[in-house]
């Protein structure tokens, strides 16, 4: 017991030693990427594969584990490259972080993890990048209308700039924009995806296409009480052969 406490004490001394802070930041970032990727992907893959993929139980388990592993590993790799690049750029710049560093570090990590390689265009990576892209668009739209001010949501080193106030709106106009931009964005997004699904379904990401086929296209096809209540008749879509699931 005393030996265990001694080992724990030595580990804590290393973890709290400032000279080890930078490499430990990288280690912690990798750990957090792995944990978060697993937590976010496993339940999603479990539901999607169970509902929309055919195959044996072993095949479905393999698909779930593959998607979970890819999501977790990619977030871990990106976290390592991003934090490593940030530390490197800061050290090269005399210990001072510049505003462009985060952009460059994100560009570097995004290219090597999500932009190139054999699995760069996998469905998991596409979902991650599309999710991030949609948040970027929303964030930039908010930044364009919000006036400058304090916006430190995470801490002293994150945030603190507010918006840009590019449109120069007064408070009444700003409130009007806040109340109407989300309904416009949501309705236009759904209008676009339903139009694409109706006429160009092959352009949609496979898991989204499968979900929408199940909800919308399959609601029009049945040939018995069994296929109306329990099963469904699969309609023919481009690149998707007709079958009964």
Burial class (CB in 10 A: 0-12, 13-18, 19+), 225: exposed
> What pLDDT is stored for residue 244 in this prediction?
31
pLDDT class of 156 with cuts at 50, 70, 90: low
Comparing CA positions, the residue from 109, 115, 106, 108 lying closest to residue 136 is 106
pLDDT, tens only, 160-188: 666 777 777 777 887 887 787 778 877 88
Whole-angstrom Cα distance, residue 157 to residue 152? Answer: 8
pLDDT, tens only, 196-226: 999 999 988 887 888 888 788 877 777 777 7
């Amino acid at each position: 017991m005393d030996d265990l406490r001694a080992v724990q004490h030595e580990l804590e001394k290393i973890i709290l030693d400032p000279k080890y802070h930078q490499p430990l930041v990288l280690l912690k970032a990798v750990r957090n990427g792995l944990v978060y990727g697993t937590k976010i992907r496993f339940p999603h893959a479990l539901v999607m594969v169970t509902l929309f993929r055919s195959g044996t139980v072993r095949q479905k388990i393999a698909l779930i584990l593959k998607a979970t592993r890819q999501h977790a590993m990619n977030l871990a790799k990106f976290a390592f490259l991003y934090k490593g690049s940030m530390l490197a750029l800061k050290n090269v710049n005399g210990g001072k972080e510049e505003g462009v560093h985060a952009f460059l570090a994100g560009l570097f990590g995004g290219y090597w993890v999500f932009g190139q390689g054999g699995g760069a265009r996998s469905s998991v990576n596409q979902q991650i990048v599309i999710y991030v892209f949609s948040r970027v668009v929303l964030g930039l739209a908010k930044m364009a209308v919000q006036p400058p001010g304090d916006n430190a949501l995470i801490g002293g080193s994150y945030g603190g700039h507010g918006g840009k106030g590019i449109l120069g709106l007064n408070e009444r106009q700003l409130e009007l924009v806040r109340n109407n931009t989300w309904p416009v964005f949501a309705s236009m997004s759904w209008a676009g995806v339903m139009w694409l699904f109706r006429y160009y379904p092959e352009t949609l990401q496979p898991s989204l296409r499968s979900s929408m086929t199940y909800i919308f296209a399959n609601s029009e096809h049945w040939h018995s009480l069994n296929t109306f209540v329990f099963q469904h008749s699969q309609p023919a879509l481009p690149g998707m052969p007709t079958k009964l699931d």
